[in-house]
Amino acid sequence: MEETHKNQTEAQEEPDLPARDGSDPGFAGNLPKLLLASSSPRRSQILEMVGWPFELGPIEVDESLRDGESAREYVARLADAKARASAAVHAHRPVLAADTTVVVDEHILAKPIDVEDGKRMLRLLQGRWHQVLTGVALQTETTTEVDVEITEVRFAPMNESEIDWYVMTGEPMDKAGAYAIQGKGARFIEGIKGDYFNVMGLPVRLLCDLIKNR
């Protein structure tokens, strides 16, 4: 009985999982410090939440949509342009850039230009599914990795009073698609398929994959 008890105790003391190799670039304790080429407080918040070291290096680029450009091509191009532009200013460090847009009926919904435009977008989204696309670019001294994450989101039906109230809170006015899933807009979200952080503006899992593949 004593021998059996001893064996059981020793077995319980063995680690459940093998130790992770600290040299693995995907290991949470070995994350490279990034230069975030964005002034978005949401992207900064996400990196802070997951414990990813970074500093800010926002950059401005022309965000005009080109003729015949798909939403996927659009966000990938802008993320790549932001990363390259920031890397040209801040050399010798990995640069992270991203761009997010919303698509419904193949129409790209960027940030509303005014209150009425915000209301128009919400009328298009209410009571139906739409897509959120984020292009992510990781620029290093030797490579540039670019990919796009797509998440589907369903809005609840909204009446005009709800649309008016939400727009007048001011929250939709600097958001692609005129809503923030992590803010007051959460009360109108019925469903989501995919990466929640992607809807906020930075798909963390995709970023980890880009880091591993660099």
Mean pLDDT, each 10-residue run in order, the chain (214 residues): 41 36 51 92 95 92 91 96 90 91 94 97 97 96 93 98 98 95 97 97 96 83
Q: What is the pTM of this model?
A: 0.83
- Distance, CA of 82 to CA of 59 (rounded, Å): 6
Does residue 173 lie within any of the structural domains?
yes
Calpha distance 59→80 (Å, rounded) = 12
Domain annotation covers residue 22: no
Q: What is the pLDDT of residue 53?
A: 95
CB 130 within 8 A of CB 121: no
Residue-level pLDDT at 29: 59
CA–CA distance, 42 with 137 (Å, rounded to integer): 17
pLDDT for 113 equals 95
Domain residues for the domain of 147 are: 27-213
Q: Is 114 exposed, middle or buried (0-12, 13-18, 19+ CB in 10 A)?
A: exposed
Residue 8 lies in a domain: no
Q: What is the pLDDT of residue 205?
A: 96
Residue-averaged pLDDT of the chain: 87
Domain presence at residue 175 = yes
The CATH number of whichever domain residue 167 belongs to comes to: 3.90.950.10
Active centre residues (catalytic): 99
